[in-house]
Each structure stands twice: as structure tokens, then as C-alpha cells.
Amino acid sequence: MQTITCTPIAFVSNTRLIPDDDYWGGIISTITLTDEFDQEAFLGLSGFSHVEILFHFHQVAAAEIILTAAIPREQADKYPRLGVFAQRKKLRPNRLGATCCEIVKIEGTVLTVRGLDAINGTPVLDIKPVLKQFLPEHITQPPWVDELMKDYWK
């Protein structure tokens, strides 16, 4: 397998120290760019309401990674066994996360967002503005997903 090296462009700061499965909606996070960037890296971003944050699940050990299938939240009585690419677990092959977040403010090299499901200290690999042209008009998903996600963004 080919190896790709990524260098963090920023780091997350917030009150979440443990990657729990629910209650991310009210979380306010600051994303501080590394010293390689200045405030011009955010030039024009204030015209957008949301950003997509790509980040690394840095606390997931290599031994925890799932390459096949698993049960969401390990609740076999509620959810079916699913392939790793049919769910959004943090135990992913490359330990990458992606979340669309609301922009709260931008000050210098610090971006403040609401609803980022990354813990304090998480390395950020990229920040992209959310463009409605990149969003699907219609999404389908299995009915059990609503139950799984009911408290995620509260």
C-alpha cells in the first residue's frame, strides 16, 4: 500500500477531552493555524456560513482500526453489522474525520466553529468552505441511522 504523509495545518481547542458519541451540537471549537500560515489564509472565508473540517483521529491506536465490518456503537441488539465504509466510526483505516461546521467568527489565524466533533488537541488536515453546489439534493439512508444519531448534534 502507498504511504501518504500529511502535516497538520491547525489544531483544535475545545472542552471535549474524550471522543464520546453524542452531544456535539453545542460544542464551540477554535481552530488555530500553525505558524506556517498567516491571517491571509482565511481571506474571503468570512463570506461563507459553514466550513468542512478534515481532521485526524489522533488518539486511535493502530491496533483499534477496523478493516472489515463492525456493529455501530457495539450495540448488536439495535444495529446491523456494517462494513467500515458504511459508517462513520473513528476506527477507520486512515483515522480521518470530516465534519461540516458553522463558522462563528474568524480572528487572525483563529477560526471559531460550532458543531465540530473533534476533541481538544485534534490535528486539522484541511479546511474547506461548504459550497451548496457540492451538496447532494437528495440523500437516502437506512431507517436505523435516525435512532443512532438522535443525540449526536444535541
In contact, 65 and 92? CB cutoff 8 Å: yes
Residues 131, 108: Cα–Cα separation, whole Å: 23
Give the count of domains, the chain: 1
Residues 51, 131: Cα–Cα separation, whole Å: 9
Helix then strand then coil, in percent of the chain rounded to 5, is: 15, 30, 55
> Is the pTM of the predicted complex or chain greater than 0.85?
yes
Q: What is the CATH number of the domain that holds 60?
A: 2.40.30.70
Tens of pLDDT along the chain (154 residues) come to 799 999 999 999 999 888 777 666 788 999 999 999 999 999 999 999 999 999 999 999 999 999 999 988 888 988 899 999 999 888 899 999 999 999 999 999 999 999 999 999 999 999 999 999 988 888 899 888 888 888 887 8
Domain hosting 21: range is 10-133+143-148
Residues 145, 10: Cα–Cα separation, whole Å: 31
